[in-house]
Structure 1
Amino acid sequence: MTRRIYSRRDIGKFGLVAAATGIAAPYLNIRAAYARDAKLVFWLQPNFNKVADDLLVEQAKEYARLKGLSGNDLQIEVVPGGEVAKRMAAALEVGAPPDVTRANEEDLTKWGVAGHLLDVTPIVNEMKGREGGINEASLPLAMMNGQIFGAPMGIAANAAHVRADKFKEAGYDGLPKTWEEFIEASKKVTKPPFYAYGMALGLVPSDSLGDVMSVVSAYGGNLIDEKNRPALQSDATVTAFKLINTMYNDAKIIPRGALSWDNSGNNKAFQSGQVAYALNPTSIYSSLIADKSPFLDATILERPPGGPAGRFSTASTDYYSVFKKSPNPELAMGLIQHFMKPENYSRFIVEAGGRYLPIYPAQLKDPFWTSKPAFAGLLEAARSARSNYAPGKLTPALSEIVNRSMVVEEVQNMLVKGKDPARAVADAHKTMVEVYKRLGEPT
């Protein structure tokens, strides 16, 4: 009898089938022991900037050479951010996760609470010892039971990317300060196939939720309260949902196809000159720099429009994490340390063109940041930024709700199926409560 030695890629494919069909996977678990065909496996999530992605590949290969690894000992797999949650669920099911990957706040919470991640406190302590230290505000979310499960690698501050030339043509000096004023201006800016607002509305975490919450927070609504209980149902949230419905169905300032976008949809729409405004981490702006875009000089970075409760931007932190299943944890942690060496990290941050604010505050003194007027708007947005989960914090229940796009699904029901905004809010809140109860969290 011939026994096949399954590769990690094979196991991943089988895991996806098992996850999709509900088939039990004891056979796959037996094969998981054979899944390792490299000493170090790194899942690279694209930064929407090929130069930055290529640099990470170069740095990973440099680290492999320093460690005396052969070409086959390092496996780099490109996994788009929108696919990570499903791909990782399948990989964990068969015991074959990568050694290292970038983790957003939702995934870090989910994987950490489930016990899949290794403590990376030594890496973080080393980072703290660098000149100027690190942004300490990035650490609380990564800390669980006295351990740190993610080394912070960048602050993604959402900024309003604005085609100032288009709003000027419509008679405005810049992005209007309130959502009501924005809608009126956008009616003049929108001339299909060009639209004013590239609002992410697809069922892919987590850009769409960020866009929805940028409106909800302006009117005083929140996903959760200060005790981490579901708090979506409120008059403020209903008002915001009505406004989103007006933008999409009445004013028609959002592209129809936005409902099917993945996390790259609003990037591509702005980069290709199809929309005048998109809320996003500065992966959009960095791509304009890297591509020498004709829209670069016309693009400014701002805070989103506001409302009665204020004018807020949002910010989140991304992390590098190591999985417990890694057969060579020292090698995996060493890769993160290599990425986060100030000289390597500074080069990545600059090559990424502002994709992240640096986790080392001292690097903000670099001429890259001080010489570009647009970054003044980014830093202002970052200073006023709040989490999508304020005034509470991310928990396993909320992580599931975000990753399954449960709130955005009700937004789509309102926009496409005509569900009353108040009913859409109530149903989204009810779904949140059900998840919280199932996972034993307070409601």
Structure 2
Amino acid sequence: MKFLSKKVATVALLGSLVVSGALAGCSSSSSSSSSKDGQTTITVWGMGEEAKSLPKIAKEFEKENPKIHVQVQALPWDKAHDKLLTAVASKQGPDVVQMGTTWIPEFASAGSLMDLSSAADKYPELAADNFFDGSVQTTKVDNKVVGVPWYIDTRVLYYRTDLLKKVGYDQAPKTWEELSDAAKKLKARGGNNYGISIDANEQSLSFMLARQNGSQLLDGNKPLFNQKEFVDAVKYMDSFFKNGSAPKNDIGLDAVAAFKGDGIVPMFISGPWMVKIINDQAPELKGKWATAVLPAKENNISALGGSDLSVFQYTKHKDAALKFVAYMSKPETQLEWLKLVNAMPANKKAWEDPALQNDPNLKVFGEQMKNSQPVPVIQQWEQIAQAFLKSNEQIFRGGADVQKTMDDFNQKAEEILSKK
């Protein structure tokens, strides 16, 4: 895969999270739950490659709850959405379902996700206070709580400490101005070197930067994409392309290849999976790279994704389903999940564990989570984000006027939001 490719997990450079909740694996023939001989069977639909590891956790749950059997089904990402729609229409689906955070509004509005607002009364593991505020935001739709945070995904800065030091930075850039300055100085090394990589096709990037510049993105149902805070953030992102410190096109290298060696691209923004990938694929870089919280303007808000666990509205085994979700919400369970699939825990207490506190590159993600927010939890957001990508391409590739382009995009967003 190529460096800067939109869908490569290893390259979310200055790009944000396309929402993480990918739905995974292989489907199964039956999705109904049952009770027999005093034992209840619940079905859990898992999403993403990690779902293949979910049965290991389920077995531990069954040891503590011998009267509940967990049947895990892994759904491939490209089939999951349609399969969920079929389940909603037929009212025959899983008891528990992993939901990518951007899918929550659609399925909650369809009435297919159980309201868990009072569930914490019986299962304190589900209480909102246990989780990062940004993750909790992803579970709320129309004043209902329709999910519980499971694992998180946010973005931080990756940088080559040795190369930054050579251009005068003993620490990571802490502000927008420092990030721009460092990128230009790194580009000035000459040759085919750049300062930073920015994937303009990552839809959340400009929204993340706009929030850092003080934009609220939306005021109720009114888009704010042609206001100064948002427009200036788009100009800032475009400045890296204009001054040549970021490559405008695919440079033919994957993320690790561009990061190691001479450091063709010595800075990028990405998610937690890159820590293991760099350690595995570039062990010679040990001591020469680090992660840091994002540089700030008005703030340093990062994009937030991940997955939630929801209970299907039509489950016949509500208590068993909630008991499983509560088990998955425990810090010790989420730490075990971290060991299995390297997914960062949503439970705040889990971050006190030495496995995370003693790894400086992972610890940064816990710090950044204190200032991370999901995209607006509305059904129309994906359509708005796709419309933005088309507008933004006119700017960084075609040199279109930023204000005029954002005026047009804002009007398009108004049209999208006006449709129910």
Q: Structure 2: which 5+ runs fail to align?
A: 1-27, 33-42
Match of 1:211 among 205, 208, 218: 205
Report if the CA contact (8 A) 2:272-2:362 is conserved.
no
Report what 2:199 is aligned to: 200
1:253-278 C-alpha deviation (Å, 9 max, x unpaired): 136139x99xxx87997699763223
Match of 2:115 among 114, 119, 123: 119
Report if the CA contact (8 A) 2:275-2:361 is conserved.
no
Match of 2:397 among 416, 424, 427: 416
Cα distance, 1:103 vs structure 2: 2.4
Aligned counterparts of 1:429 and 1:173: Cα–Cα separation in 2: 41
Give the secondary structure class of the aligned counterpart of 1:275.
coil
Report what 2:236 is aligned to: 243
**Structure 1 residues 298 and 255 mapped into 2: Cα distance closer, same or farther (>3 Å)?**
farther
1:37 maps to 2:34: no
Report if the CA contact (8 A) 2:221-2:417 is conserved.
no
Instruction: Identify the range of structure 1 (289-298 vs 229-238) with the bigger mean alpha-carbon deviation.
Output: 289-298
Cα distance, 1:175 vs structure 2: 2.7
Instruction: Identify the range of structure 1 (173-182 vs 118-127) with the bigger mean alpha-carbon deviation.
Output: 118-127
Report what 1:302 is aligned to: 292
Instruction: Identify the range of structure 1 (311-320 vs 147-156) with the bigger mean alpha-carbon deviation.
Output: 311-320
Report what 2:338 is aligned to: 349
Cα distance, 1:57 vs structure 2: 4.2
Aligned counterparts of 2:121 and 2:281: Cα–Cα separation in 1: 37
AA at the equivalent of 1:299: W
| Count of aligned pairs | 377
Give the secondary structure class of the aligned counterpart of 1:419.
coil
Report if the CA contact (8 A) 1:127-1:133 is conserved.
no
Q: Map 1:44-63 to 2 at 5 A.
A: 44-46=47-49, 55-60=53-58
Q: Map 1:146-225 to 2 at 5 A.
A: 147-190=144-187, 195-202=194-201, 208-225=202-219
Percent sequence identity over aligned pairs: 18
**Structure 1 residues 372 and 341 mapped into 2: Cα distance closer, same or farther (>3 Å)?**
closer
Match of 1:398 among 375, 381, 406: 381
Give the secondary structure class of the aligned counterpart of 1:349.
helix
Cα distance, 1:132 vs structure 2: 11
Cα distance, 1:313 vs structure 2: 3.3
AA at the equivalent of 1:235: K
Aligned counterparts of 2:215 and 2:266: Cα–Cα separation in 1: 26
Cα distance, 1:96 vs structure 2: 7.3
Instruction: Return the structure number with greater relative CO, CA threshold 8 A, min gap 6.
Output: 2
Give the secondary structure class of the aligned counterpart of 2:250.
helix
Aligned counterparts of 1:228 and 1:267: Cα–Cα separation in 2: 41
Higher fraction of helix? 1
Give the secondary structure class of the aligned counterpart of 1:75.
strand
Instruction: Identify the range of structure 1 (324-333 vs 169-178) with the bigger mean alpha-carbon deviation.
Output: 324-333
Give the secondary structure class of the aligned counterpart of 1:160.
strand
TM-score if structure 1 supplies the norm length? 0.69
**Structure 1 residues 438 and 420 mapped into 2: Cα distance closer, same or farther (>3 Å)?**
same
Give the secondary structure class of the aligned counterpart of 1:154.
strand
TM-score if structure 2 supplies the norm length? 0.72
1:87-107 C-alpha deviation (Å, 9 max, x unpaired): 756776787766544324321
Give the secondary structure class of the aligned counterpart of 2:153.
strand
Aligned counterparts of 2:244 and 2:353: Cα–Cα separation in 1: 43
Report what 1:79 is aligned to: 77
Give the secondary structure class of the aligned counterpart of 1:197.
coil
Aligned counterparts of 2:82 and 2:406: Cα–Cα separation in 1: 26
1:204-242 C-alpha deviation (Å, 9 max, x unpaired): xxxx233223332343334113x4521111223222222
1:370 maps to 2:353: no
AA at the equivalent of 1:279: I
Report if the CA contact (8 A) 1:198-1:266 is conserved.
no
Match of 1:387 among 332, 355, 373: 373
1:426 maps to 2:407: yes
Cα distance, 1:134 vs structure 2: 0.9
Instruction: Identify the range of structure 1 (289-298 vs 150-159) with the bigger mean alpha-carbon deviation.
Output: 289-298
